[in-house]
Amino acid sequence: MVRKLNKIALLIIKLAISSGLLYYVLSKVGAEKVLAIIRTISPFAFIFAITIYIFSIYVSTMRWRLLLPNEFKEKKLFSFYMIGAFFNTFLPGVIGGDAVKTYYLYKEINSGSISLSSVFMDRYIGFASLMIMGLVAYIIGFNYIKGSIVEWLLPAIILAFLIGSLVVFGLRFGKRIRVLSQFYDYFDHYRNQKALITKTFFLSLIVQVLNIISIYVITLGLGQHISLIYFFIFFPVITTISTVPISISGLGVREGAFVLLFGLVGIKPEMATAMSFAWFLSVAFGGLTGLFEYLRLKR
């Protein structure tokens, strides 16, 4: 009972933070202006962004498949991934997408350790590729962001990621606990398979590039022409900030990040907010595919 109340309280806090941030951003830029800009988006660009998102989910499925025993088919895992994407978008804070994927996988293999470990490693490798991509873009495009908040914010995020990795994989806290011990056994099994890790990392890079291209396509659809290097620099920051569990599906936080970062390159706040909302809408429409998969498996 206490645990349930705590989850409800946390959800209410997240709703309050998202609502407060959205209200602040929209009150500054004008909700009518943002809506008017979104209405001007090219239908072709919007549909193309949705297609890119669904394809990125499929590539993510290929990565997850490599982290599981051989008997799993990509078609079934793709179904699980799409369902997870749907829950992440439409029921955030209630049931997480990773929890849904873990649940469906557990039903298939009846192994909690493999289910949890594979989902965690899938997420971790994806985030590691994002950090490395952000670091490369940071070095190449340093002159573009010199003197801005990104100059120190992105390195701080990468450093925090490295410290977190050291704590989890280096110090191995809680290794005497059965669940964590099984996780470390899973990690030890895969870490020496360099060819496999290289493949998963390469697929992760493809996923991150697809995500960046989808935002770029949305921006072009809104009539904005911004150098692609900025998207490679800003995307790791936006993604990291949005995934911090203080809001509902990153709403409010993501819009604030768009306004702050793209404002550095001369994009007006209302346009940056429209870019963020339009990208989120493309993800939401793509995630609806997961609803049909959920209903199909439930039936």
Check: CB of residue 11 under 8 Å from CB of residue 94. Answer: yes
- Report, as an integer, the average pLDDT of 14-22: 75
Would you place residue 94 in the very low, low, confident or very high pLDDT band (cuts 50, 70, 90)?
very low
Q: Greater confidence, 196 or 8?
A: 196
Looking at residue 2, what is its pLDDT?
57
- Report, as an integer, the average pLDDT of 138-156: 82
**pLDDT exceeds cutoff 60 at 93:** no
**pLDDT exceeds cutoff 80 at 96:** no
Would you place residue 187 in the very low, low, confident or very high pLDDT band (cuts 50, 70, 90)?
confident
Helix-strand-coil percent breakdown of the chain, rounded to 5? 80, 0, 20
Check: CB of residue 286 under 8 Å from CB of residue 226. Answer: no
Average pLDDT, the chain: 83
- Report, as an integer, the average pLDDT of 38-46: 94
Q: Greater confidence, 110 or 239?
A: 239
Looking at residue 158, what is its pLDDT?
86
Q: How much of the chain exceeds pLDDT 70, in percent?
A: 89
Distances in whole angstroms, Cα of residue 61 to Cα of each of 155, 254, 267, 289: 29, 25, 35, 15
**pLDDT exceeds cutoff 70 at 3:** no
Q: What is the pTM of this model?
A: 0.86
How far apart, in whole angstroms, are the C-alpha atoms of residue 34 and residue 261?
Answer: 17
Looking at residue 207, what is its pLDDT?
94
Would you place residue 205 in the very low, low, confident or very high pLDDT band (cuts 50, 70, 90)?
very high
Check: CB of residue 83 under 8 Å from CB of residue 297. Answer: yes
Of the candidate ranges 15-24, 163-172, 178-187, the one whose mean pLDDT is the lowest: 178-187
How far apart, in whole angstroms, are the C-alpha atoms of residue 299 and residue 296?
Answer: 5
Of the candidate ranges 22-26, 150-154, 257-261, 279-283, the one whose mean pLDDT is the lowest: 22-26
